A and B are shown apart, each in its own frame.
Chain A
C-alpha cells in the first residue's frame, strides 16, 4: 500500500480483485491524487459506485462512507442524497460506460440538467466486460466482441460525429473532460477542477481491458501493445507498428477522439439542490395562498 491508499482506502479492499493489467486502478489513483492535492479528507466525501467492473471493483474501497446503487440508478440515489447532505460534503461516483451511457443515461442527463453537485468518474473499458465482454455504448465501431461476433454495426456514443460529452454539454453539465487512464498530471488537474465545481461534473476516463476487449477485439493481451493502441485513439499520427494487425477487428475510422477539457463552466449555473434548499429556507411562510384553492398554503 502506498501513502495515498493508506490515507484514503480500506486495507481490506487492497489489492483490488481487478484482472491483471486492468487500467481501472490508474483511474482510481488519478481521483485520489486529485483529492489529496485539494486537501480533502475521508469525511469530506461520500463515495458512490454503479454496477460492472468500475462499480464493483471500487465499492467500499473508500475509507469514508460508501454506497453502491442499482445499475444505472446511482445518479438518482445521489440526487436524493444531495438534498440530505450539507453543501461542503462532496459526492463522487465511479461508474462504468454501460452504467452511465447506457442503462443510466436518462438519470445522468437529469442530474446534468439540474446541475446537481456531484463528480461522476466514468471509467470506460469499451463495453460490458464484467459479464464477459459484450459490446457497449462506447465500443469502437466494427469491433468483434462476444455479442457482436460479425463486427459491431451499431453506432455508439463515442466518435467524431456522435459524442456523449456533447450530449451532456447540451444537457447542462458544467464540467466535462475526457482522458486516457494513462494521462498523468493533466487528468489529475481536470479531476481537481471537477471536484471544485459546485455543480454537475463528469470526467470520462477510457482505460484498457486486456481480458476481453484486448483479447477479443484486438486479439492482443500484451499490455504494452494494447496500451499503445489506446494511445492512438487520441493521437492518430502516433507510430504503432502493430496498428494494422490490431485493427483487423475494429474500425480504424474511430481514431479521432478529443482529449482533455471539454467544458468548464464551473459556477456559471446554480446547483438546483442548493437553490431548492435556499428557496425553502427563505420561503415567506405568511404569504398569500399560492394556488388560490381557498385552503391557504399555511393551513
Chain B
C-alpha cells in the first residue's frame, strides 16, 4: 500500500477510479468542485469519460444514462445541487439503476456558506425524491480514509442493490487533508476487492422481479435484451402499468430489498460502549472525530460516557439506540435532524447540540455530557438554545 497525503476530494476520485469508474458527470460547486477537477485530470488517464453538464439535473441524468448503458457512473455535488437531483434520483430508484452520488454538505439553507461544513441533508438523503415507496442507501464518511473506503463500498452496494447510493460527506471531509492508503499492486487491489467485477446486464425477460432479492443484474440497454427502463410503474417485463397490484409489488421490492438485506449496509463505530455507559454521544461525519476525543478525555476524567458514530445513515440503525440511555446528539445544523431519528429509535431521553460551519469543541461536549449525569439537564448555551 502506498501512503498518500491528500484531500477527501482526491481520495474519492482515486477510490472511484479504482472501483472501475467509466463515467463521471458533474457541475462545479463548492466544496465538491475538486472532485470534478480531479476527475477531469485522472479519469481520462484511466480510460473513463468526464462530461461537464449544463446543470446538476443534467449531470445526474447523464450519469444515470451512462449507467443504464452498462457503465459504472457517478456524480458529485453539494446541497444546492443535491436538491436538483430529485428528478433523476427517483428515476434511478424506480428503474433500479446503480449509480453513486457524492454530496459534500455545506452550510444552508440555500447557498448559505460555501466553504464550511454543514449537515443539512440528513433527511433529504432519505427522501431525495417525491412519491415515497422506497428506501435509500446512504453512507457517511468521517474523514479522508473513510471517504476512500466508503466510495468503493458505495459502488459495490449500488450494483448489488440496483439503486443509487449517496455518500453523504461534509466540507471538512472533502476539503480536509489526511493520509490514506492506496493499493499498489494486483495483490493489494484484490485484497480490497478491487476493481469491482464488471457490471452485468440483466438478460430478461423479467427485468423487475417481485422479490426482495439482491445481486440481480440491473437492466442494461443496448445489449439487445429487450429491456425497458421507465418512470412508470413497471410490470415484470418493464411495460408501464397503472395497476395498483403491480405498483404494490414494485414498492415492496424497492423498500424490502434494502430493509431485508440491511446487514450489508449497516456501519457504525462504537466507542467505550462495552461497560454500558449511561450517557452516549451520537454523531456522523466530521463531528464524530471530536466526539470520540471527548469520550476518551471524559473517561480519563472518570465520566462514564460512550459514543455511537454512524457510518451508514439510511436505512437508520434503530437497534443501536436503547431507551435506558441518555443520548446527546451532535450534528452540524441548528434545526436538529439526526436527533429526531435518535429520539424516535430510542424512545428515551435525547439531547441535542447543534453547530454549523464549525465543529463543537471537546470541552463543551464534556461540559454538556457531565451535566447529563444524575438526571441533569444541560445548561442552554449561547443564543439561549434550549436543548431537546
Contacts and interface: CB of A to CB of B under 8 A. Distances in A.
Interface string B22-61: 1101000000000000000110110111010111011001
Given A280-B47, A291-B41, A67 B55 contact: no
Nearest to A89: B222
A60 B44 CA distance: 35
A3 interface: no
Nearest to B86: A70
Contact of A283 (B44, B73, B227, B231): B44
B211 interface: no
Given A80-B25, A80-B61, A73 B240 contact: no
Nearest to B10: A295
A282 to B, nearest CB: 10
Nearest to A281: B47
Given A70-B91, A73-B88, A280-B49, A297 B41 contact: yes
Contacts of A13: 239
A42 B71 CA distance: 22
Contacts of A78: 65
Interface string A53-79: 000100110011111111001001111
B313 interface: no
Contact of A298 (B22, B45, B71, B88): B45
10 contacts: A65-B224, A65-B227, A68-B230, A76-B65, A77-B88, A79-B62, A80-B51, A80-B64, A83-B49, A83-B65
A73 B228 contact: no
Given A79-B51, A83-B23, A43 B224 contact: yes
A12 interface: yes
A279 B47 CA distance: 10
Contacts of A290: 41
Nearest to A113: B54
A174 B31 CA distance: 38
B310 interface: no
A73 B240 CA distance: 18
B45 A81 contact: no
Contacts of A67: 68, 95, 221, 228-230
B153 to A, nearest CB: 22
Interface of B: 14, 22-23, 25, 41-42, 44-45, 47-49, 51, 53-55, 57-58, 61-71, 73, 87-88, 90-91, 95, 221-232, 238-240
Given A69-B231, A70-B88, A107-B54, A277 B226 contact: no
Given A46-B221, A65-B221, A66-B228, A79 B69 contact: no
* 6 cross-chain pairs, A with B, having the tightest CB-CB distances, nearest first: A84-B69, A80-B65, A76-B61, A80-B62, A68-B230, A80-B66
Interface of A: 12-13, 42-43, 46, 51, 56, 59-60, 63-70, 73, 76-86, 89, 106-107, 110, 276-277, 279-281, 283, 285, 290-291, 293, 297-299
Contacts of B54: 106-107, 110
A12 B45 contact: no
A85 B22 CA distance: 12
Most central of A59, A78, A83 by chain B CB within 10 Å: A83
Nearest to A114: B51
A60 to B, nearest CB: 5
Contact of A83 (B69, B87, B229): B69
Contacts of A81: 65-66, 68-69, 221-222
B239 A70 contact: no
Nearest to B91: A70
A39 to B, nearest CB: 17
Given A80-B23, A80-B65, A106-B55, 16 more contacts: A46-B221, A63-B226, A66-B227, A76-B57, A77-B68, A77-B88, A81-B69, A83-B71, A84-B71, A85-B69, A89-B222, A106-B54, A280-B44, A280-B47, A280-B49, A283-B44
B222 A84 contact: yes
A60 B239 contact: yes
Given A106-B54, A276-B49, A285-B45, A77 B230 contact: no
A16 to B, nearest CB: 13
A85 B67 CA distance: 11
Given A59-B232, A68-B232, A79 B65 contact: yes
A218 to B, nearest CB: 30
Contacts of A86: 222
Contact of A280 (B48, B225, B227, B230): B48
A80 B230 contact: no
Given A73-B87, A79-B51, A107 B69 contact: no
Contacts of A298: 45
Contact of B226 (A65, A107, A283): A65
B87 A60 contact: no
Contacts of A293: 41
Most central of B55, B71, B231, B239 by chain A CB within 10 Å: B231
A77 B65 contact: yes
Contacts of B61: 69-70, 73, 76-77, 79-80, 107
